[in-house]
Amino acid sequence: MQKSFNQFIEFVKGIYPEYPDIIPLHDPRFIGNEEKYLLDCLKSNFVSSVGEYVGKFEKLCAEYTGSNYAVASVNGTAALHISLLLAGVKPGDEILTQPVTFIATANAISYTGALPTFIDVDMDTMGLSPGKLRDFLSSNTFKGKDNFTYNKKTKRRIFACLPMHSFGFPCKIDEILKICNEHNLVLIEDAAESLGSLYHEKHTGLYGKFSTLSFNGNKIITTGGGGMILTSDEYLAKKAKHLTTQAKVPHPWEYSHDEIGYNYRLINLSAALGCAQIEQLEHFVHEKRILSANYKTFFQQTDIQYFEEPANSRSNYWLNAVILKDRKERDDFLKFTNEHGVMTRPIWELLNKLPMFNTCDCSDLTNANWLADRVVNIPSSVPITDYYKNKNK
């Protein structure tokens, strides 16, 4: 095993020779029109909540994903919060989500006064399992007179389902949607990590009533901080814009607000960065898929298993992942790589184990527990190839 660990360090250093000390997990790349568009904001004086880049970025996101509407927000967590509110989530509701996700997914649920209920993930996607979802719904819920689904144990209404495409690998979102329709559940997709990923050739984020993206600094493209709500519904898109902009009634000079809104706007500077980044997105995905193919070939010669994209999908390979033999080997790998200048990390502590959520209901979580003991993310930044070197000259 030690031999594989050493070979891995050498292999990663060969991919990222530009980092003398520590090779990060995911660094952004600013090699397009970023400076030009940012300077444009400064020169125009529109750096804050007003300016033409916000609308432009929304349009580019809608066009890229194929969504009818895209509404920008200050970050992905805010996008989730607004989506849940507009979906109609009420305090005391339960939202079915996965324990293998970043804390923001469950936090956003909590902001609405609802509670997460954790459903296991599939081994081949690391995203919410339609099989486990169906099992949970058929054994643990009943249909109320109001046609909503209720949890037999807690008696709470189960209102929505919020799966996440882990590390950019699409979950079986079409099956999940079918089950949601059968049980009168609203589907909201947390697509924070999967911009550029396709499922059955359709962009992730197009299956839910809402879906959300994140442009945090570690994502495939970044605006520094930012998020986006995707929806096919014009009315809901307008409501999302209204709620994220303090619910101000549009008027040239009067200030009036017709409900409690949120200061969740994306600023023009961030949107300008986003416009430059999204122009390079297909190229980033292309480069990341070459990296993935190289990782696959490398790991075939070792005793470490490389996690490949699931069937029927094109992953953006936001974060590459490997599966170690057991928790001990995982910890040995984490220690060795981090001590030798290669940043790696385990998947998040399962959300059902955190103090805020450890009393929430959950399905059998065999797969999530198995994966949590073994999965490690490895460096996945877009490699600086000759393409970029020449561009920078």
Ligand X SMILES: Cc1ncc(COP(=O)(O)O)c(C=O)c1O
Partners of 88 in beta bridges: none
Question: Of the candidates 104, 109, 160, 243, which one interacts with ligand X according to CB under 6 A?
Answer: 104
Q: By C-alpha distance, which of 278, 310, 307, 117 is closest to 200? A: 310
Give just the sign of the alpha carbon dihedral 282, 286, 291, 296.
positive
Taking the complex as a whole, the smallest distance from the CB of residue 75 to ligand X amounts, in Å, to 3
Alpha-carbon distance 185 to 179, whole Å?
A: 8
Alpha-carbon distance 9 to 12, whole Å?
A: 5
Q: How far, in whole angstroms, is CA 335 from its chain's centroid?
A: 27
> Binding to ligand X by residue 189, rule CB under 6 A?
no
Question: For residues 288 and 317, is the Cβ–Cβ distance under 8 A?
Answer: yes
How many other β-carbons are positioned within 10 Å of the β-carbon of residue 318? 25
**Strand ranges (E), 37-81:** 69-73
Question: Of the candidates 117, 214, 313, 337, which one interacts with ligand X according to CB under 6 A?
Answer: 214
> Binding to ligand X by residue 101, rule CB under 6 A?
yes
Q: Which stretch binds ligand X (CB under 6 A): 71-79, 154-162, 320-328, 363-371?
A: 71-79
Binding-residue total with ligand X (CB under 6 A): 14
Burial grade of 25 (CB within 10 A; 0-12, 13-18, 19 or more):
middle
**345-346, strands of its sheet edge to edge:** 305-306, 320-323, 375-378, 345-346
Site map 77..96 versus ligand X, x via CB under 6 A = x-------------------
Pick between residue 106 and residue 291 the one whose CB is nearest to ligand X. Answer: 106
Pick between residue 41 and residue 100 the one whose CB is nearest to ligand X. Answer: 100
Question: Of the candidates 65, 67, 75, 97, which one interacts with ligand X according to CB under 6 A?
Answer: 75
Pick between residue 84 and residue 304 the one whose CB is nearest to ligand X. Answer: 84
Residue written as token pair 């502590």: 349
Burial 182-206 (b: 16+ CB within 10 A, else e): ebebbbbbbbbbbbbbbbeeebbbb
Taking the complex as a whole, the smallest distance from the CB of residue 196 to ligand X amounts, in Å, to 14
Question: Of the candidates 51, 205, 227, 379, which one interacts with ligand X according to CB under 6 A?
Answer: 227
Give just the sign of the alpha carbon dihedral 322, 325, 330, 333.
negative
Q: Which stretch binds ligand X (CB under 6 A): 34-42, 56-64, 73-81, 240-248?
A: 73-81
Partners of 231 in beta bridges: 69
Q: How far, in whole angstroms, is CA 266 from its chain's centroid?
A: 18
Site map 305..324 versus ligand X, x via CB under 6 A = --------------------
Taking the complex as a whole, the smallest distance from the CB of residue 191 to ligand X amounts, in Å, to 8
> Binding to ligand X by residue 23, rule CB under 6 A?
no
Instruction: Report the residue closest to ligand X, judged by CB.
Output: 76
Q: Which stretch binds ligand X (CB under 6 A): 70-78, 178-186, 273-281, 338-346?
A: 70-78
Taking the complex as a whole, the smallest distance from the CB of residue 224 to ligand X amounts, in Å, to 10
Pick between residue 77 and residue 344 the one whose CB is nearest to ligand X. Answer: 77
Binding site for ligand X (CB under 6 A): 75-77, 101-102, 104-105, 164, 190, 192-193, 214, 216, 227
